[in-house]
């Protein structure tokens, strides 16, 4: 295996997290079935899982407690926030409300135990991202060992092939699970000993495994060849080149620890993150969860679909890099839960429309857990609407818009229309209101050190809630030009938009997180929710009166309060501010503290290095990785229906490079640049029709250009 290629993610060491080898194993998947290859010379652990292997979940009947909303609002109006914080949750608990959130099942393990008295030498393992195949190679005594593994899209099966130039003695331990069908192919002799399969004098062993169906006896190479076209079709044509070479990830992470990661690491992060996303979700399956298809054990923390940041971060990158179609499982998943969402809106808040719980699973739709920061967060539905609308913007899929997206958006808007109250001046107010998952500084003790705590999140008028409501109503008004929406509703949305309060700036010159004078900002927190109008929203941009207030707000955030995904989020915000070097610095900090050798991301650093918050667990959270993919894209391309901006926040470390087949609404772009030589070239192709302003990097010395193209036409810019 050639480990020098840029499309290889490779290491010189096996998985090494003590007791939890799955954390550093090599991930494989087809969106429905996932596998992990640990790469141990003595024992190969081949972990298998399936998108629908969840357990223990059950929804409770939602009692009618909507009267609690009036009590909470009255307390908040009097400034009695501490009493208001738990009113709704207490009412639910008094009525016996209980939900048990499902968790992914532990993977099934096929263990291959090799007899050898020789130590390994020249060890290498990695992933070939151009083929979707994991590999392990090493020498042992006089023998050379090679292992390969992949998960087939064509056959929906996992395959592991082990070859030796000598003979192998192997014990194979198989899991007992009725859903998993396994075949073992070998040229060695077989013997059953105490429930284990023993192979003697084998030069090869091939393990074939499939959930919910038998698998034919077929060679690894034939299965792999049949899968290759399907894999490459799934990966598509999107590409990036930042001058990356073939270094192992250990070297790249050492560079980040020493000072700063090279551009090669970010190129690999983009390639690997996109590979992982395409491998972790598929039409007919589930949305990409926080652990993807690779949860390594049962009862993992925060393993549900969490829609107050994490679900959204997982999907930010998808439209631009050609993965918009993989937003469809997300849309189907939430649309399929709308009956329970309607019940929650009616019984908890007395509102029409839908209330989307922050936490959901394939088995859970009702609000859970019953804690104030979750039950009172009203922004999940509207935030998801942004992703659903983005899917339409990039694909033009009118059928899905009419069947699922618009109904979801309309019922989200109906909830907000009922939930909003109006003050004596006719201005909108939101109460209770949560800014995930922060508590105003007014309620934070001076000696507070535990940044995960939710002391008093339930207050009023969070900036994020207003931004989401504003965005949703604005999007629906725009859609009324293309779809036959009720004119009375459109007029209502316009009227409500005119009565939403203006965003506020605090005494530090920063965008205020809660739009109430008695609620001060708390900068020691990982969430950056109130910057929603800048990112992921598109309301505030360069030249906007609040642009500098957003800049001040992110600069004031404290490093020791961050998490892995918070650094990815912060990176994207700096990119929107045009500060590419600062955006890249955030990802470099993430590499220092939250990146494993296989490029899995952690919620927080486990070594007390001061680059993230410190808690006594270190969950794998792949939203940070996918958030980094998005942040890199934000540095290099920014587009909407009216404008394409090339290299809007390109850091100095990315002084040259190229991008191929990235998407913009209605089109596709490929471009290359070399700032040192002042050269830039772009090809813009219309997939539906384009009429946009094109803004080139300032160093080109070129003015804005207007580009108008019909479907199928393209134009080239060459400087």
pLDDT in tens, 572-599: 999 999 999 999 999 999 999 999 999 9
Domain that holds residue 16: 8-54+104-232
CA distance 153 to 230: 6
Decide if 520 is inside a domain.
no
Q: How confident is the model at residue 451 (pLDDT cuts 50, 70, 90)?
A: low
Decide if 601 is inside a domain.
no
Decide if 116 is inside a domain.
yes
CATH of the domain at 171: 2.70.98.50
From residue 680, how far is each of 270, 631, 640, 699, 717 by CA, in Å? 22, 22, 21, 10, 8
Query: pTM for this structure?
Result: 0.97
Between 89-103, 301-315, 451-465, the lowest mean confidence (pLDDT) is in 451-465
Decide if 361 is inside a domain.
no
CA distance 666 to 393: 7
Decide if 599 is inside a domain.
no
CA distance 70 to 348: 11
**Structure confidence at residue 184 (pLDDT):** 97
pLDDT in tens, 430-439: 999 999 989 9
**Structure confidence at residue 446 (pLDDT):** 67
Q: How confident is the model at residue 447 (pLDDT cuts 50, 70, 90)?
A: low
pLDDT in tens, 697-719: 999 998 899 999 999 999 999 99
Q: How confident is the model at residue 529 (pLDDT cuts 50, 70, 90)?
A: very high
Residue that finishes a domain, picked among 232, 264, 296: 232
The residues facing 104 across adjacent strands are 54
The contacts of residue 491 (CB under 8 Å, 6+ apart) are none
**Structure confidence at residue 245 (pLDDT):** 85
Decide if 112 is inside a domain.
yes
Q: How confident is the model at residue 3 (pLDDT cuts 50, 70, 90)?
A: very low
The contacts of residue 676 (CB under 8 Å, 6+ apart) are 655, 656
Say how many domains are in the chain: 2
**Structure confidence at residue 106 (pLDDT):** 98
**Structure confidence at residue 1 (pLDDT):** 45
CA distance 578 to 581: 9
Average pLDDT over residues 16-40: 97
Average pLDDT over residues 314-322: 98
Decide if 420 is inside a domain.
no
Residue that finishes a domain, picked among 198, 232, 266: 232
Cis peptide before 461 (omega within 30 of 0): no
- Using alpha carbons, select from 323, 272, 232 the residue that is nearest to residue 7: 272
Give the residue ranges of DSSP H helices in 463-546: 463-479, 487-498
**Structure confidence at residue 616 (pLDDT):** 86
φ and ψ at 4, to 5 degrees? -95, -10
From residue 574, how far is each of 309, 330, 465, 718 by CA, in Å? 17, 27, 22, 28
- Using alpha carbons, select from 351, 307, 415, 338 the residue that is nearest to residue 65: 351
Percent of the chain with pLDDT strictly greater than 70: 98
Decide if 672 is inside a domain.
yes
pLDDT above 90 for 648: yes
Q: How confident is the model at residue 649 (pLDDT cuts 50, 70, 90)?
A: very high
pLDDT in tens, 151-194: 999 999 999 999 999 999 999 999 999 999 999 999 999 999 88
HSE, CB side, 13 Å, CA atoms: give it for residue 138: 20
Q: How many CB atoms lie within 10 A of CB 385?
A: 25
Q: How confident is the model at residue 621 (pLDDT cuts 50, 70, 90)?
A: very high
Residue that finishes a domain, picked among 177, 212, 232: 232
How are beta strands 143-151 and 158-173 bridged, if at all? antiparallel
């Amino acid at each position: 295996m050639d480990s020098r290629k840029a499309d290889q993610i490779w290491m010189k060491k096996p998985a090494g997290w003590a007791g939890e080898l799955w954390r550093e194993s090599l991930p494989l998947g087809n969106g429905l079935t996932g596998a992990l290859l640990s790469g141990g010379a003595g024992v190969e652990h081949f972990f298998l899982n399936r998108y629908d292997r969840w357990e223990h979940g059950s929804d409770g009947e939602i009692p009618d407690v909507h009267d609690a909303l009036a009590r909470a609002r009255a307390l908040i109006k009097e400034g009695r926030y501490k009493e208001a914080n738990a009113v709704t949750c207490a009412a639910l608990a008094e009525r016996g409300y209980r939900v048990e959130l499902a968790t992914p099942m532990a993977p099934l393990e096929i263990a291959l135990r090799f007899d050898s008295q020789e130590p390994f030498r020249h060890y290498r393992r990695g992933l070939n991202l151009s083929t979707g195949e994991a590999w392990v190679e090493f020498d042992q005594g006089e023998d050379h060992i090679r292992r390969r593994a992949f998960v087939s899209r064509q056959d929906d099966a996992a395959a592991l092939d082990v070859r030796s130039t000598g003979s192998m003695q192997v014990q194979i331990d198989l899991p007992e699970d009725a859903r998993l069908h396994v075949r073992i192919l070998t040229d060695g002799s077989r013997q059953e000993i105490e429930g284990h399969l023993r192979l003697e004098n084998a030069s090869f062993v091939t393990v074939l495994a499939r959930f919910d169906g038998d698998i034919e006896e077929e060679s690894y190479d034939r299965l792999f060849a049949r899968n290759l076209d399907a894999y490459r079709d799934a990966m598509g044509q999107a590409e990036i080149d930042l001058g990356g070479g073939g270094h192992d990830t250990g070297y790249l992470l050492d560079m980040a620890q020493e000072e700063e990661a090279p551009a090669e690491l970010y190129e690999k992060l983009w390639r690997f993150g996109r590979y992982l996303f395409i491998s972790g979700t598929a039409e007919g399956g589930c949305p990409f969860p926080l652990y993807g298809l690779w949860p390594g054990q049962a009862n993992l923390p925060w393993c549900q679909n969490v829609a107050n940041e994490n679900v959204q971060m997982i999907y930010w990158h998808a439209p631009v890099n050609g993965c918009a179609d993989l937003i469809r499982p997300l849309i189907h998943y939430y649309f399929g839960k709308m009956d329970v969402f309607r019940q929650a809106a009616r019984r908890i808040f007395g509102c029409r429309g839908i209330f989307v719980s922050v936490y959901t699973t394939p088995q859970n739709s009702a609000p859970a857990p019953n804690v104030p920061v979750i039950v009172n967060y009203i922004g999940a539905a509207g935030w998801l609407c942004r992703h659903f609308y983005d899917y339409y913007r990039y694909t033009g899929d009118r059928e899905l818009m009419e069947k699922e997206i618009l109904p979801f958006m309309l019922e989200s808007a109906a909830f907000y229309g009922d939930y909003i109250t109006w003050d004596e001046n006719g201005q909108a107010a939101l109460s209770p209101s949560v800014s995930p998952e922060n508590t105003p500084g007014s309620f934070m003790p001076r000696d507070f050190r535990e940044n995960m705590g939710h002391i008093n999140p339930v207050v009023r008028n969070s900036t994020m809630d207003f931004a989401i409501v504003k965005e949703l109503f604005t999007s629906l008004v725009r859609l009324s030009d293309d779809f036959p929406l009720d004119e009375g509703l459109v007029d209502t949305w316009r009227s409500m938009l005119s009565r939403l309060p203006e965003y506020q700036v605090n005494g530090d010159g920063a965008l205020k997180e809660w739009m109430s004078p008695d609620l001060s900002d708390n900068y020691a927190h990982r969430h950056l929710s109130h910057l929603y109008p800048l990112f992921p929203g598109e309301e505030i941009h360069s030249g906007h009166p609040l642009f500098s207030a957003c800049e001040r707000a992110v600069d004031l955030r404290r490093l020791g309060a961050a998490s892995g995904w918070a650094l990815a989020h912060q990176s994207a915000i700096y990119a929107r501010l045009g500060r590419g070097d600062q955006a890249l610095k955030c990802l470099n900090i993430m590499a220092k503290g939250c990146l494993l050798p296989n490029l899995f991301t952690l919620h927080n650093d486990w070594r007390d290095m001061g680059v993230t918050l410190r808690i006594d667990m270190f969950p794998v959270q792949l939203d940070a990785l996918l958030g980094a993919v998005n942040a890199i894209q934000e540095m290099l391309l920014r587009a909407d229906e009216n404008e394409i901006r090339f290299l809007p926040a390109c850091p100095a470390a990315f002084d040259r490079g190229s991008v191929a087949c990235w998407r913009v609404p209605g089109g596709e772009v490929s471009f290359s640049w070399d700032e040192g030589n002042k050269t830039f070239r772009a090809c813009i192709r219309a997939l539906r029709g384009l009429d946009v302003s094109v803004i080139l990097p300032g160093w080109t010395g070129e003015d804005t250009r207007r580009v108008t193209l019909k479907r199928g036409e393209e134009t080239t810019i060459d400087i």
